[in-house]
Amino acid sequence: METVNPATFDDIRPVNDNEVPQAIEDLIASDGLWRALSYIAPDADRAALSDAMRACRTKAEFKSTIGYKTVMAIARRSTFSLTISGRSRLPADKAPCTFISNHRDIVLDAAFLNVLLYDVGYDMTQIAIGDNLLITPWIRLIVRLNNSFIVKRNVSARRLLENSRVLSEYIRHTLRDTHESIWIAQREGRAKDSNDHTQTAVLKMLCMAGQADNLLENLMELNIVPIAISYEYDPCDYLKAREFQLKRDNPHYTKTERDDLLSMQTGIMDDKGRVHFTIGSPLNDTLRHFDPATPRNEMLTAAAAAIDRDIYAHYRFYPGNYVAYDLLHASLRFRMNYDQRDKARFEAYLRKQIDRIDDLPNKDEAFLRTKLLEMYANPLKNHWDTKTE
């Protein structure tokens, strides 16, 4: 395949190492950063943190010191535990992978994955992030310093095709030429009801830059590894439920920048309980059994379904998932997986989250409760439906 000029990617790539010192100076000069830190880490020493940032001369140094310490501080503050399993399924030779996961939290899914990979001796990934979240210049700076590349949203159909092609080329360039893994969500945006499905559009984009006449080879070159993410509590669940009602009551409702900022802030700061990441089986183990003559759309659908099955198989479940399923379906199917204290605790949690929704003119508590229950029951439903296929 012809090598692409790296300058093609200047408006979506992370900062280059030679740009790190200036990017850090621009970040330090940003009032927005320090306003955010005054809320997230009120005890942070501005002078000491500025000196620590200036000591970083490369992206690798920035993300393994400043980025790592920041994410671990968030984990200590907002999780009971942050764990990973399945590390034996990572390539023994540290070959770069395309990690594809379900998507729960706007900011922390990829950030948590990176620190967990770093702790088990695997290189951190480059992270795909939508430009709709880069609301302020300092946010754009900090994510690019932490090795994120930008996915352009809300563009015309004509521009979308071109942007997708460039993004696909960038991902191939990163895997092949810079030998870095990447993380990308299985779909655009979060599955608000936790009913996780891989969009074939994501796989189509990933394959745009490959050899057009061999889709199976294109898919295998990506070295896709599914990741299952399981949060005991989703801090943004009440915001997602609120959005469901707003969209039900007004089909033309769209989120604002303020909504995205609140979701980012809530996801970072609020309690998540136990958080677990499971590294799944490399997709190539399944793709090897595909017929190369399979029609294109059929192959993409089958590949997406294989990713989904692997994610469903590797969820980790907590008492709230079992309680939510039984409450939602008025059943006792999972009664052996929780006790009355678990049930009372989860119902109290639901009540607390519904009470946080205080700005809906026609607040429909029954609807909101159902939506919250679906968020916690759907992963369990998909897991068991897959097991019984």
The end-to-end CA distance of the chain, in Å, is 40
Task: Check the CA dihedral 265-269-271-272 and report its sign.
Answer: positive
Asked if residues 181 and 227 have their Cβ atoms less than 8 Å apart, the reply is: no
Give backbone dihedrals phi and psi of 285, rounded to 5 degrees, phi first: -60, -30
The CB density around residue 129, as the number of other CB atoms within 10 Å, is 23
Instruction: Return the CA Rg of the chain.
Output: 21
The CB density around residue 326, as the number of other CB atoms within 10 Å, is 20
pLDDT of residue 388: 67
pLDDT of residue 366: 98
Could you read off the pLDDT of 45-66 as tens digits, one per residue? 899 999 999 999 999 999 999 9
Q: Is the pLDDT of residue 21 over 50?
A: yes
| 4: confidence class by pLDDT, cuts 50, 70, 90 | low
Distance CA 133, CA 284 (A): 32
| 215: confidence class by pLDDT, cuts 50, 70, 90 | very high
What tokens were used for 181?
């893994």
Asked if residues 84 and 120 have their Cβ atoms less than 8 Å apart, the reply is: yes
Query: In angstroms, what CA-CA distances link 336 with 232, 322, 339, 342, 370?
Result: 18, 9, 8, 11, 22
Give backbone dihedrals phi and psi of 375, rounded to 5 degrees, phi first: -60, -35
Could you read off the pLDDT of 75-104 as tens digits, one per residue? 999 999 999 999 999 988 889 999 999 999
Owner of token pair 């535990």: 81
Question: What is the SS3 assignment for 334?
Answer: coil
Q: Is the pLDDT of residue 332 over 50?
A: yes
Describe the strand order of the beta sheet including 126-130 as a list of residue ranges: 81-85, 274-279, 224-231, 98-101, 182-185, 126-130, 148-151
Asked if residues 180 and 218 have their Cβ atoms less than 8 Å apart, the reply is: no
Give one DSSP letter per residue of 320-333, joined into a string. HHHHHHHHHHT--T
Q: Is the pTM of this model over 0.75?
A: yes
pLDDT of residue 8: 83
Could you read off the pLDDT of 334-377 as tens digits, one per residue? 999 999 999 999 999 999 999 999 999 899 999 999 999 999 99
Distance CA 236, CA 234 (A): 5
Rounded mean pLDDT, 267-296: 96
pLDDT of residue 1: 45
Could you read off the pLDDT of 162-213 as tens digits, one per residue? 999 999 999 999 999 999 999 999 998 889 999 999 999 999 999 999 876 7
Could you read off the pLDDT of 105-137 as tens digits, one per residue? 989 999 999 999 999 999 999 999 999 889 899
